[in-house]
Amino acid sequence: MSLLDGLLGDSDLARIMGDAAQIAAMLRVEAALARVEGRLGIIPPEAAKAIAGVAADLHPDAAALEPGTARAGIPAQALVTALRSACGPHADWVHFGATSQDIQDSALVLQLRTALEVMAERLGALDAMLAEKSAAFADQPIPARTRFQIAAPTTLGAKIAVWRAPLGRHLQRLDELRPRLFNVSFHGAAGTGAALSPSTDEVRRALADALGLSAPEIPWHATRDAIAELGGWLALVTGSLGKIGIDLILLGQSEIAEVAAGTGGGSSTMPQKSNPVAAEALVTLARLNAGDTGTLHQAMIHAQERDGAALGLEWAVLPQMVVRTGAALRIGLDLATTLVPRPERIAATFAADRGAMMAEAATFALSRQMPRAEAQRLVAEALRAVAETPDRTLAQALDALAPGGDWTERLRPARQTGEAARQADAGKPSREDKT
């Protein structure tokens, strides 16, 4: 559709959240409603059958419903008009006892259910791939960098374990929010279900059953916490992927290049470049969803029994957040799959650092044999020697200042990665049973 779809979009999620799918979902809800009402004797059985049949065959395109949507301020109403006119003598029984928002919201939930299945699957696949990579590189030393400075050694596996850790939590959050989200809406014009009273509740439960949803007693026309919560979840997912993105960008800088992932984007004029296009996209998608989750929370301030101004915010923002999340997961999986360390570049970083990043380790080692303040003074002096003498390493400087310590061996990075390997080896798919 759009120039940027391959970069920042996702065709699967765009289809699931798109107009055609929305129209189909609304028709599915209307059909289910007719069938349920027919079965319960609320509308004539032949009307029910006819409506359900017409709804199954109807494929109005978005363009045809657009003017009616603009007039009514809600797509469902334009669709109901189209459905009625296609149902001929049974038109009276279409949408019986429902309000437009009931159909709109129930259809939205059906779309979201499908979208969340796809996202959960991608999240699971990404989790598994990162687990694999984390385990594979559990022992590959690499510098940890805090506040954009080399800090101390860790391993690539531990870095990946950190990326992976929130994914399991996201799946857990998804399990928790699903029951709050997967609700049918069938409460009628004023939220009281008055039109079909006292059968409303029975219809609602039957409709919910037919669609595989729950049937809340209290209407959610105007309390949109489940939608805002979902927006937050989407932003959490893209936020975690944005963290992977910024890390890959920084690890892939020309001067560092310790990890490669994906195929770099070429420059139109600089052949030597390998731009981190996919990793940048992860950051972009995360920032876009972060901004939009704020807007979606604005939509919770929803006036009275229905507020078109607030609903419009959801309609504009939620689908693009879903698509972006799908895009980020697809891109993230591609990057995770192709991720490889470049050991020679990592080795070069360690060499250039000349052991400065082992300063904390040296201090702790020395502290075992002298007061800590003295150890710190010694290490500081050694660091000065490293800074001032071109090829001097911290180990060599310490050999001179605190002889007999076999500093080269004691300060070998691989010896000083603490729990990194264990963190990395925790790398087995956390929810293999579920995804």
Closest to 250 (Cα-Cα) out of 258, 241, 262:
258
> Residue 177 or 210: which CB sits closer to its own copies?
177
Site for its own copies in 43-62 (CB under 8 A): 62
> Are 163 and 240 within 8 A, CB to CB?
yes
Q: Tokens at residue 391, please? A: 């090829």
Q: From CA 190, how far away is CA 197, in angstroms rounded?
A: 12
CB of 125 within 8 A of CB of 333? Answer: yes
- Considering the complex, state which of residue 75 and residue 124 has its C-beta at the smaller distance from its own copies: 75
398 binds its own copies (CB under 8 A): no
Nearest distance from residue 338's CB to its own copies, in Å? 14
CB of 158 to its own copies, least distance (A): 6
| Contacts to its own copies from residues 180-219, by CB under 8 A | 180, 187-195, 197, 200-201, 216-219
Identify the residue among 113, 297, 412, 431 touching its own copies (CB under 8 A). Answer: 297
| Whether the Cβ atoms of residue 167 and residue 240 lie closer than 8 Å to each other | yes
Judged by CB under 8 A, the residue of 56, 70, 347, 414 near its own copies is: 70
Site for its own copies in 16-45 (CB under 8 A): 19, 22-23
Q: Per CB under 8 A, which of residues 328..387 are in contact with its own copies?
A: 349, 352-353, 356-357, 359-361, 363-364, 367, 371-373, 376, 379-380, 383
In the complex, least distance from residue 57 CB atom to its own copies, rounded to whole angstroms: 20
DSSP one-letter string for 244-286: HHHHHHHHTSTTT--EE-S-PBPPSS-TT--B-HHHHHHHHHH
Of 306, 321, 397, 398, the residue at the interface with its own copies (CB under 8 A) is: 306
Footprint of its own copies on residues 99-138 (CB under 8 A)?
Answer: 99-100
Three-class SS state of 186: coil
DSSP class per residue in 80-129: HHHHHHHSGGGGGGTTTT--HHHHHHHHHHHHHHHHHHHHHHHHHHHHHH
Contact flag: residue 88 with its own copies (CB under 8 A): no
Residues 238-277 contacting its own copies, CB under 8 A: 239-240, 242-243, 245-247, 249-250, 252-256, 263, 265-277
Shortest spacing between CB 134 and its own copies, in angstroms: 10
Residue number with CB closer to its own copies (32 or 227): 227
Say if strands 340-341 and 149-155 run parallel, antiparallel, or are unpaired: unpaired
User: Interface with its own copies includes 8 (CB under 8 A)?
Assistant: yes
**Among 411, 400, 402, 409, residue whose Cα is nearest residue 357:** 411
Among 28, 35, 133, 170, binds its own copies (CB under 8 A): 170
Count, residues in the chain: 435
Question: How many chain residues bind its own copies (CB under 8 A)?
Answer: 174
